Amino acid sequence: MSIELNRPALRQARALVREGKVVRDGPGDWAEAQPTPDEENGFIERDGWTEYAHWHMGVDKSADRETKDAYSFPFGDFRKVHRSGVIAGESRAGQFGHDEIRDELKKLLELIDRD
């Protein structure tokens, strides 16, 4: 398993933040805010795997791209970026040694907090 920064997701997240599509929730709110498996499945059925991928900062290019196992570090609810999701992803990426993902999530958090 080799998780890499998902650059299209990073571009989407930055654009959403610039457009003001952000939920400025607290660090502990992600457990309640993150999409449920049923919400994820509905999104995938409606919008497809590429759009699903764009909501995850990590991608495992060795995994089947049409499985949830290929994607990690979600940061939003398929409508808006959640500050709590960015914080959770930054923390987890740091814990598991995904430094590039951690650093980009930190920059995204700074962008959110700047506004």
- What's the pLDDT tens digit per position in 10-66? 999 999 999 999 999 988 899 999 999 999 999 999 999 999 999 999 999 999 999
Domain extents for the chain?
Answer: 3-114
What residues form DSSP beta bridges with 60?
A: 3
Q: Which two tokens stand for residue 9?
A: 């997701």
Residue 65 identity:
R
**Does residue 1 surpass a pLDDT of 80?**
no
Give the whole-angstrom CA distance, residue 97 versus residue 104: 13
DSSP string, 8-53: HHHHHHHHHHHTT-EE---GGGHHHHSPPHHHHHHHHHHH-HHHHH
Q: How many Cα neighbours within 13 Å face the side chain of 30?
A: 18
- What percentage of residues in the chain have a pLDDT greater than 90? 95
Q: pTM for the whole thing?
A: 0.94
pLDDT band at residue 115 under the 50/70/90 scheme: low
Q: 64-83: per-residue pLDDT in tens?
A: 999 999 999 999 999 999 99
CA-CA-CA-CA torsion sign (27, 32, 37, 42):
negative
Q: What is the mean pLDDT of residues 94-109?
A: 97
